[in-house]
């Protein structure tokens, strides 16, 4: 830095050329020469400034918009709302009636959720709890505050449990939270044995039950559990649900059940016996068991093993004498079984 003939400080600096392009660049403050300027950066400035602005909101100072939900009015600053919410940005900038209104009425938004989101716009913080997440997520979705919406989804993912995963899945579908829906559905598949014991399962729609029992990723020890779950769901409201017995039983891998369960439980179930198509499914499963040489003729979804995530298939060897015994039992049973079914 030098002085001019008039004694004033000179702020000029020498231009430099770019190392790769050779193009002369304008002078910068980051020069090895004696400093001619200094860039001061206060990382706390945004936070401290917004802290003051938030106090002004609380004290209703310089507020220029009122948000009405029902009989409740909350005051705020348009600039702050528009900076954090595309919904408000469009409202206050586009050719909308609210652009010139000092009071804006909002619909389909919870008052408590709105107040939390307004505070978030000023502070960047919001407390998500079991009590508020179901109103906070749709409100943040409506106002297009995606960071809060995503945080709500993450919170719900961490809360997944056999007693709530089906409800969370339905909630995610309603609000188009695809990742949350995928995670909760996968959780329900992986914990099916516990999920079917909950009240939520009994109140599922037909399509929701079908979505579960038809999935190859369903994690069950045996297909007997799937059959029992389907029958429990139908019997919870038989007058309306018995019409779905054939469709749901078609997704149960009957051929993977034991012969004794097929004979003692499935075949004796009145709802199964009253539906001809169910009897056909049962007959096909018994033929698959009793005619191993012809199993390729019965190949279908009913004969396939499910493949749950995280589980590896195992192959078991059967001793020669035990195999002969099984073939002998098969020969004795085939006539009896076909007689009982038909």
Q: What's the pLDDT tens digit per position in 75-123?
A: 999 999 999 999 999 999 988 888 889 999 999 999 999 999 999 999 9
- The stretch 190-202 carries a mean pLDDT of 97
- Answer yes or no: are the C-beta atoms of 248 and 213 closer than 8 Å: yes
Q: For helices 165-174 and 146-158, give the axis angle rounded to 10 degrees.
A: 160
* CA pair distance 105, 101, nearest whole angstrom: 10
Q: What's the pLDDT tens digit per position in 141-185?
A: 999 999 999 999 999 999 999 999 999 999 999 999 999 999 999
Work out the mean pLDDT of the chain and round it to a whole number. Answer: 85
Question: What sign has the CA pseudo-torsion 214, 220, 221, 225?
Answer: negative
* CA pair distance 56, 59, nearest whole angstrom: 5
The distance of Cα 321 from the centroid of its chain, to the nearest Å, equals 51
Q: Which domains does the chain have, with CATH numbers?
A: 48-154 (3.30.710.10), 160-216 (1.25.40.420), 220-300 (1.25.40.420)
* CA pair distance 254, 217, nearest whole angstrom: 16
* CA pair distance 257, 311, nearest whole angstrom: 19
- Answer yes or no: are the C-beta atoms of 88 and 82 closer than 8 Å: yes
Q: What's the pLDDT tens digit per position in 201-254?
A: 999 999 999 999 999 999 999 999 999 999 999 999 999 999 999 999 999 999
* CA pair distance 107, 69, nearest whole angstrom: 7
């Amino acid at each position: 830095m030098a002085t001019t003939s008039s004694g004033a400080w000179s702020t000029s600096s020498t231009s430099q050329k770019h190392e790769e392009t050779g193009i002369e660049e304008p002078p910068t403050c980051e020069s090895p020469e004696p400093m001619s300027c200094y860039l001061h950066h206060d990382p706390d400035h945004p936070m401290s400034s917004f802290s003051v602005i938030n106090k002004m909101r609380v004290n209703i100072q310089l507020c220029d918009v009122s948000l009405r939900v029902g009989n409740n009015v909350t005051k705020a600053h348009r600039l702050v709302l528009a900076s954090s919410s595309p919904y408000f940005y469009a409202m206050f900038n586009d050719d909308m009636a609210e652009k010139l209104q000092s009071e804006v009425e909002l619909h389909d938004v919870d008052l408590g959720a709105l107040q939390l989101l307004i505070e978030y716009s000023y502070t960047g913080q919001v407390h998500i709890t079991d009590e508020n997440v179901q109103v906070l997520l749709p409100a943040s979705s409506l106002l297009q505050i995606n960071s809060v919406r995503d945080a709500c989804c993450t919170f719900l993912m961490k809360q997944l449990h056999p007693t709530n995963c089906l409800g969370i899945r339905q909630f995610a579908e309603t609000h188009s939270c695809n990742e949350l829906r995928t995670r909760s559905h996968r959780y329900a598949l992986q914990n099916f044995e516990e999920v079917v014991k909950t009240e939520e399962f009994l109140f599922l729609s037909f399509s929701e039950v079908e979505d579960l029992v038809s999935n190859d990723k369903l994690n069950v020890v045996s297909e007997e559990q799937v059959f029992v779950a389907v029958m429990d769901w139908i019997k919870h409201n038989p007058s309306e649900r018995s019409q779905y017995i054939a469709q749901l039983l078609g997704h149960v891998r009957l051929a993977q059940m034991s012969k004794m369960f097929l004979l003692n439980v499935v075949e004796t179930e009145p709802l199964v016996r009253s539906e001809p198509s169910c009897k056909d499914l049962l007959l096909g499963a018994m033929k698959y068991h009793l005619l191993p040489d012809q199993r390729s003729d019965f190949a279908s979804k009913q004969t396939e093993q499910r493949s749950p995530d995280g589980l590896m298939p195992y192959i078991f060897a059967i001793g020669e004498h035990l195999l002969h015994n099984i073939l002998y039992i098969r020969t004795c049973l085939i006539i009896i079984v076909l007689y009982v079914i038909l």
